[in-house]
Amino acid sequence: MEVLERTINGKNVKIYIGSGLEMEINRAMEKYSGNITFVSSAIRKIYSKKIRAISSTKSFITDGERAKSMASLNAVFRKLIRMEVERNSSISYIGGGTLGDLTGYAASVYKRGVHYLGIPTTLLAQVDSSIGGKNAINFMNIKNVIGTFYNPEATFSDTDFLLNSDPALLRDGIAEAIKMGLIMDAGLFKYFTENNLESIYCEKRLQYIIKKSTEIKLNVVSDDFFDSKKIRYLLNFGHSIGHALESYTGNAISHGTAVANGMILESYIAYKSGYSGMLHDEIRDAVARYGIPLINFREIETDKLISYMKNDKKVERGKLNMVMLGGNGTAAIGEIEFQQLRRYINLYRDGI
């Protein structure tokens, strides 16, 4: 087991990474006057023994993107009030990033903030969404539009939850972890180029990937907790084009697939903009090792793709602030005009 510890925005945050973390979880919960854990109904049967070993009152809840809604939030608040959950109690979750976002928001506003513990169960949640204190629900079809910054006191990334996980779910987490390596840690990216989906499907390697990604995310959010200094922006590498691909395809591709393909094209744009050497082929090979589907950009209409990018939160005065990969685990923010972006995307399509 590894324990990472940081003070972020004045709060001590601990992240436990390993297998069989039930004892640590129970010990953490003992500190509070009560504990309620919202558990993903989808994993209730798969991990019933593990879930039973966690001594908390449990409430089972349907997760997935639809859970990040006012309706689910109301259900959570009703439960907390009916159970007379006190201010010194803690709320926790056992589930993926969607449940983390929903319960994190509830914990941050219920009685103006109660203790919060995270037990993420997808690789994506363990390497990314459970770290950094952002939470949000969707509203009026706008993703993550209502949320707060609120760190859990402790997060328990237990690899036992990953060993029966669907490979498609693992791939989504791998895409985000590859991203962490590309922007901050060349060693982590190299690790991905030397492994494949089969070889990383073991406790030791998963633990390594989670630890490295968690350290990177902790470093970034410690410097820019409230996302106000453009440092957190770096975590958006692959996401400007990735989000546009999700919209373009009507969410027919997974977030990880969108980000992975976004990273390939964005690294080509960084190369054309003079930020780095050619890295896109290396990234494409790394992504393919994990069976992440590659998009044929010749089948994508550039103008339509760009129309989705115009709504990106990182557009300022008509220009897009995009994460430009520098190579060797470095990245910077670069401004790019949409006309230039169109030119580079078309050049990439012509070269395939």
Diameter of the chain measured on Cα atoms? 63
Q: Does 63 bind ligand NAD (CB under 6 A)?
A: yes
- Contact indicator for 285, 193 with CB cutoff of 8 Å: yes
Q: Does 223 bind ligand NAD (CB under 6 A)?
A: no
Q: Does 96 bind ligand NAD (CB under 6 A)?
A: yes
- Given candidates 98, 159, 236, 257, which one binds ligand NAD under the rule CB under 6 A? 98
- Compare residues 169 and 270 and give the one whose CB is closer to ligand NAD: 169
Q: Does 262 bind ligand NAD (CB under 6 A)?
A: no
Q: How many helices, marked H, and strands, marked E, lie in the chain?
A: 14, 12
Q: Which stretch binds ligand NAD (CB under 6 A): 25-33, 96-104, 326-334, 341-349?
A: 96-104
- Compare residues 144 and 222 and give the one whose CB is closer to ligand NAD: 144
CA distances from 171 to 70, 101, 150, 258 (A): 29, 20, 27, 11
Calpha distance 246→241 (Å, rounded): 9
- Given candidates 134, 232, 239, 289, which one binds ligand NAD under the rule CB under 6 A? 134
The DSSP element (H or E) to which 158 belongs, if any, is strand 154-158
Structure tokens at 343: 């030119």
Polymer length of the chain: 352
What residue type is 22 in one-letter code? E
DSSP type of residue 118: E
- Given candidates 13, 124, 188, 265, which one binds ligand NAD under the rule CB under 6 A? 124
- Contact indicator for 22, 54 with CB cutoff of 8 Å: yes
Other CB atoms within 10 A of residue 49 CB: 9
Q: What is the closest distance, in whole angstroms, from the C-beta atom of residue 142 to ligand NAD in the complex? A: 12
List the x/- string, 154-173, binding to ligand NAD by CB under 6 A: -------x---xx--x--x-
List the x/- string, 306-345, binding to ligand NAD by CB under 6 A: ----------------------------------------
Footprint of ligand NAD on this chain (CB under 6 A)? 40, 42-43, 46, 63-65, 68, 95-99, 101, 121-122, 124-125, 128-129, 132, 134-135, 144, 161, 165-166, 169, 172
